[in-house]
């Protein structure tokens, strides 16, 4: 029996410099796609996989992310009085089970690995998911659920992967691939942000992981990797051979919302999925292109 997957860590301490000036006061993860902030998409995706406990790794100026999931008593009261049931439903979509959301601080931005290590007390001895809210997913089945299903079969670590153009390998963690059935690939090695010529493949890690708690001890060696940062990829690489490790090509589309063009594309793709907006959006798009 595998230990059930009930926990998720969401690193959200980044400065969001690529979206300045919008992110001067506003957390990047609070930027909406259509009408919902990125962080809420991530929480909903994790919930759809049966995750019950959430840990946000925050930093200075990020308290709005925690507030977003709190009860807005006055607003709720006013909406009730005015019988605004639709708005009330939307508001309630942000409610959490009492005690299911916690946050820890990453005081210094030392890298993704370090951010995850900050959540070590939350992780304890349990398997856990990681969601990077910048990677936004449009799929029929939650990507965390797709990873959790593979974890239930294979055990060990499972990461979401996608083929990227070779000239982009320097933006991602890249797999060295063993047995591969076109959906699930055995991971033989991992390299963080290799140059195109040095990349062992073009199969890249996307921001969804199911990891075993042993990765925390590997991060705690605090070795500096690519960009001088404490990299999650390097810590994961040290688990290979000791625990099963697989990459899963998930079904659905992923948008890189850490990038302006990717963020804009996500707006269009998500709006076109909305019955109340699709017609209008299609209409005005045809006037621009
Ligand atoms: C991080 C990880 C990288 C992964 C990527 C996915 O990089 O370090 O391995 O491929 O997320 O989005 P970052 O985007 O933080 O530079």
What confidence tens digit (pLDDT) does each residue in 72-90 have? 999 999 999 999 999 999 9
Q: How confident is the model at residue 289 (pLDDT cuts 50, 70, 90)?
A: confident
- Ligand 1 atom having least distance to the Cα of 14: 15
* pLDDT for residue 5: 98
Write out pLDDT tens, residues 251-263: 999 999 999 999 9
Residue 156 and residue 246 in contact, taking contact as beta carbons nearer than 8 Å: yes
What does the angle CA 64 – CA 227 – CA 245 come to, to the nearest 5 degrees?
A: 80
Mean pLDDT to the nearest integer, 42-69: 96
Kindly report the average pLDDT of the chain as a whole number. Answer: 96
**Structural domain range at position 20:** 7-258
Q: Could you tell me how far CA 82 lies from the centroid of its own chain?
A: 36
pTM of the model: 0.96
The pick from 28, 161, 172, 226 for probing ligand 1's pocket by mutation, whose C-beta has the most ligand atoms within 8 angstroms, reads 172
Tokens 């926990």 sit on residue: 7
Distances (CA, A) of 17 to 14, 22, 45: 8, 9, 25
Q: How far is the CA of 233 from the centre of ligand 1 (A)?
A: 9
- Ligand 1 atom having least distance to the Cα of 205: 10
Specify the residue with its C-alpha closest to ligand 1, atom 16: 171
Write out pLDDT tens, residues 134-148: 999 999 999 999 999
Mean pLDDT to the nearest integer, 51-71: 95
DSSP letters along 138-164, please?
E-SS-HHHHHHHHHHHH-SEEEEEEE-
| CB 266 less than 6 A from any atom of ligand 1 | no
213 within domain boundaries: yes
| CB 204 less than 6 A from any atom of ligand 1 | yes
Percent of the chain with pLDDT over 90: 97
**Residue of 231, 8, 13, 204 whose CA lies nearest to 104:** 13
286 within domain boundaries: no
Domain count for the chain: 1
276 within domain boundaries: no
147 within domain boundaries: yes
289 within domain boundaries: no
* pLDDT for residue 15: 87
Mean pLDDT to the nearest integer, 257-284: 96
CATH number at residue 100: 3.90.550.10
What φ, ψ does residue 167 adopt, rounded to 5°?
-70, -5
What does the angle CA 253 – CA 257 – CA 258 come to, to the nearest 5 degrees?
A: 135
Position 1 pLDDT exceeds 80: no
278 within domain boundaries: no
Q: Which residues contact 210 (CB under 8 A, 6 or more apart)?
A: 5, 127, 128, 129, 144, 147, 148, 150, 151, 157, 158, 159
Question: 73: how many CB neighbours lie within 10 A of its CB?
Answer: 8
149 within domain boundaries: yes
Position 184 pLDDT exceeds 90: yes
Write out pLDDT tens, residues 212-245: 999 999 999 999 999 999 999 999 999 999 999 9
* pLDDT for residue 158: 98
Q: How far is the CA of 173 from the centre of ligand 1 (A)?
A: 6
| CB 235 less than 6 A from any atom of ligand 1 | no
49 within domain boundaries: yes
Q: How confident is the model at residue 16 (pLDDT cuts 50, 70, 90)?
A: confident
């Amino acid at each position: 029996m595998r230990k059930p997957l009930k926990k998720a860590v969401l690193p959200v301490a980044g400065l969001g410099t690529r979206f300045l000036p919008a992110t001067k006061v506003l957390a990047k993860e609070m930027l909406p796609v259509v009408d919902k902030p990125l962080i809420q998409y991530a929480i909903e995706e994790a919930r759809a996989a049966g995750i019950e406990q959430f840990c946000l790794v925050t930093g200075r100026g990020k308290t709005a992310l925690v507030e977003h999931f709190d009860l807005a008593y006055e607003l709720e009261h006013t909406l009730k009085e005015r019988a605004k049931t639709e708005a009330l439903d939307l508001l309630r979509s942000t409610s959490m089970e009492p005690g299911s959301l916690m946050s820890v601080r990453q005081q210094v931005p030392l890298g993704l690995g370090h951010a995850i290590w900050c959540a070590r007390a939350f992780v304890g001895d349990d398997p856990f998911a990681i969601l990077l809210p910048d990677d936004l997913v449009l799929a029929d089945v939650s990507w965390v659920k797709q990873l959790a299903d593979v974890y239930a079969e294979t055990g060990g670590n499972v990461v979401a992967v996608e083929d990227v153009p070779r000239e982009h390998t320097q933006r991602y963690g890249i797999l060295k691939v063993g047995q591969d059935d076109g959906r699930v690939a055995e991971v033989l090695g991992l390299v963080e942000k290799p140059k195109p010529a040095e990349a062992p493949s073009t199969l890249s890690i996307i921001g969804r992981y199911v990891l075993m708690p042993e990765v925390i001890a590997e991060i705690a060696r605090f070795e500096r990797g690519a960009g001088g940062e404490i990299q999650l990829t390097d810590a994961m690489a040290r688990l290979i051979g000791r625990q099963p490790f697989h990459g899963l090509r998930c079904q659905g589309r992923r948008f890189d919302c850490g990038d302006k063009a990717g963020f804009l594309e996500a707006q269009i793709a998500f709006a076109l999925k909305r019955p109340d907006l699709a017609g209008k959006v299609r209409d005005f798009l045809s006037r621009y292109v």
